[in-house]
Amino acid sequence: MHNILKRLSALRYLARPLALASIGIVFISLGVAYFVIALYRTAELPGFFYYLTLQFLDRWVRGWVLTLIGLVFLVAGLWRLSGVAVIPLDAKPGSEDEFVLGYRRTSKPPRITVLSGGAGLLILASLGRYASRLTCITPVQDPVEYYYRASSLYNFENVIFVPPTPDRLEVEVQLDDGTRHNIKENISHREKLAGRHAIDSMLVDDQAGRHPIFRQAIDAIQQADAIVLGPGSLFESILPNLLIAEVREAIGRSKARKIYICSLMTEPGLTSGFGVAEHIRQIERYGGFTPDYVLVNAQRIDADVRQIYEAAHQVPVYMNPEEYEETIVSKTDRVTARDVVVEGAVVIEADLATSVVQLTASLDQPGAGRTVRVLRHDPDKLATAILEILRRE
């Protein structure tokens, strides 16, 4: 009984549209009935119509039989419809924007593990609304307290932040000019390194990549239905955890679907000149596995926003047709799509970002701040794309 009430509650936001649709069906049925009566009286019909229209039954019996058949189909349709979550969104008066998110409700929501860092980890934490458990494994060089303090500003559901190891580790990258830098040196904002890119990433004072591991982090990887890498900086947020052997090996053994969310923009000094294929190759190099799916933003960027990024030596990370290896046809319960394969991973292009207005200011001159429009991954769009992947056959 509880399950029935739970499923019916999913229809409460559709009550008015369903009522209007039902009234429309009644009038259509009456119209069709009049056409059928007129057809009976004016046309010579084949013999099988006698059995098709149940004329061998009394009219009252015939009416009850057809009504019961109609009710069975109606109840079955409503039951299946109740398996779709309808989420109302508060819209501002006069707004023409809307966002609809639907997913197939199952008896067991997915368990999702995320490896990311910074704002990217907080963006994806909203996915906890659709998961039985969302475990966010923080980068080795970041204190986990930062994420708990930041998450206290939000009302995340079913979300746990877990560091991979109790050891405080430092990560260094080697650039193509031979120099080595700590990943915390804010490389992307150093003008003289803007045209460089990283060619190696390593743990400082590494013990062959092996360190004591929190059991909760390994269990989250082993029990996950999906492992999501990103969104976030490739060398700052994603690759550091893959430098730990136990984490890397646990992901390699996992049967979960592995999804990489590609960066929206290149990072000066770290991924300058990188395309989608090069991002995937870095995952393969340090993780020892190829992502099953790669999500790439397909939204075109306004000229004024592009100019802001170009001034910061950043360009969008888009798909390059030369990187295509093959195309495949994939299916979900709602759509059949044609995807491309790059470096062995299925690459899905979708609208994943939104532009936001951000205040920028320096610590030296806090009063000299200015507002600019920047591109950020959209939490709802990412959630939709990830849930769509989990529906795939």
Specify whether 168 is located in the same domain as 45.
no
Tell whether 70 and 116 lie within a shared domain. Answer: no
Give the model's pLDDT for residue 335: 44
Amino acid 64: pLDDT: 85
pLDDT value at residue 83: 58
State whether 174 and 215 are in the same domain. yes
pTM comes to 0.70
Query: How large a percentage of the chain has pLDDT more than 70?
Result: 80
Same structural domain for residues 77 and 115?
no
Residue 1 has pLDDT above 80, yes or no: no
Question: What string of H, E and C letters represents the secondary structure of 349-391?
Answer: EECCEEEEEEEECCCCCHHHCEEEEEEEECHHHHHHHHHHHHC
- Whole-number pLDDT of residue 11: 59
Residue 389 · residue 348 · CB < 8 Å: yes
Tokens of residue 80, six digits: 């299946």
The set of residues, in sequence order, having a beta carbon less than 8 Å from that of 134 and lying 6+ positions away, is 112, 113, 114, 125, 127, 128, 156, 158, 159, 160
Residue 181 has pLDDT above 70, yes or no: yes
* H or E element at residue 201: strand 198-203
DSSP-derived secondary structure letter, 299: P
What confidence score (pLDDT) does residue 250 get?
96
Using 50, 70 and 90 to split pLDDT, how confident is the model at 301? confident
- Of 27, 62, 81, which one is at a domain's C-terminal end? 81
Domain check: are 26 and 119 in the same one?
Answer: no
Do 233 and 172 lie in one domain? The reply is yes
Residue 358 lies in a domain: no
Please give the radius of gyration of the chain, using alpha carbons only, rounded to the nearest integer.
27
Question: Domain check: are 245 and 192 in the same one?
Answer: yes
- 257: nearest Cα among 345, 132, 128: 345
Name the most confidently modeled range: 17-26, 54-63, 288-297.
288-297
Residue 215 in domain: yes
Domains of the chain: total = 2
Structural domain includes residue 100: no
Residue 84: per-residue pLDDT: 55
Residue with tokens 């299925």: 346
Domain that holds residue 16: 2-81
Q: Is residue 101 part of a domain?
A: no
Are 77 and 123 within one domain? Answer: no
Same domain? 35 vs 167:
no
| Mean pLDDT (whole number) for 90-105 | 44
Considering the domain architecture, whether residues 31 and 74 belong to the same structural domain is answered as yes
Say yes or no to pLDDT of 87 above 50: no
Report the alpha-carbon distance of residue 385 to residue 260 in Å, rounded: 12
Listed range (96-110, 134-148, 196-210, 284-298) with the worst mean pLDDT: 96-110
Domain boundary among 63, 81, 99: 81
pLDDT in tens, 251-263: 999 999 999 999 9
Residue 285 in any domain: the answer is: yes
How many other CB atoms are there within 10 angstroms of residue 249's CB atom? 15
Is 209 contained in some domain? yes
Tell me the CB-side half-sphere exposure of residue 90, using CA atoms within 13 A. 0
pLDDT tens digit sequence for 226-250: 999 999 999 999 999 999 999 999 9
Cα(213)–Cα(232) distance, rounded to whole angstroms? 23
* pLDDT of 180 higher than 90: yes
Q: Which residue has the higher pLDDT, 38 or 188?
A: 188
Which pLDDT value is given to residue 56? 79
Q: Are strands 326-331 and 336-342 parallel, antiparallel or unpaired?
A: antiparallel
More confident of the two residues 309 and 147: 309
Residue 34 lies in a domain: yes
Of the residues 62, 81, 100, which one is the last residue of a structural domain?
81
Instruction: Encode pLDDT of 346-392 as tens digits.
Output: 999 999 999 887 766 554 555 555 677 888 999 999 999 999 999 88
Whether 52 and 123 map to the same domain: the answer is no
In a domain, 22, yes or no: yes
**In a shared domain, residues 12 and 125:** no
Domain containing 241 — which CATH number? 3.40.50.10680
Question: Helices marked H in 160-275 — which ranges?
Answer: 215-223, 239-242, 245-253
Q: What pLDDT is stored for residue 293 in this prediction?
A: 96
Cα 221 from Cα 305, distance rounded (Å): 37
